[in-house]
A = this chain, B = another copy of it.
Amino acid sequence: MSQLDATFSALSDPTRRAILARLALGELTVMELARPFDMTQPAVSRHLKVLEGAGLIVRRVDGAKRPCRLAPAGIDAIDQWLSMLRAALEANYDRLDTVLAAMSRSDNMKRKDTR
């Protein structure tokens, strides 16, 4: 699975996005993260593993605790891909007149004689 696959896939789960949003306020341990969710600790641990694999969080070791915090790598990866798509979208808008012309052309064709 590519980095991009992993990152988009990680972000597609609302629990994982909620975890990231909470980490946005600062470092938290697994237990602190698990508390507010209606979910067992192992389930949260697996979500964290997914987020780590996607480069969206990093963990450090502090005794028995594993505090997590946000990492930039994952965000950077998708940012880069998205900027490509954004640029294309803007380009498409720039030639909106062309698109509209194509649409009315096909409307005409539909009415009389296609191809």
Contact = CB atoms under 8 A, between A and B. Distances in A.
Nearest to A98: B26
Contacts of A12: 5, 8-9, 12
Given A69-B92, A70-B89, A110-B63, A84 B24 contact: yes
Interface string A18-55: 00110111110000000000000000000000000000
What is the oligomeric copy number?
A: 2
Interface of A: 2, 4-5, 8-9, 11-14, 17, 20-21, 23-27, 60-63, 69-70, 72, 75, 78-79, 81-82, 84-86, 88-89, 91-92, 99, 102-103, 106, 109-110, 114
Given A13-B5, A17-B81, A89-B72, A63 B109 contact: yes
15 contacts: A4-B17, A5-B12, A5-B13, A8-B11, A9-B9, A21-B84, A21-B88, A24-B84, A24-B85, A60-B106, A62-B109, A62-B110, A72-B89, A75-B85, A75-B89
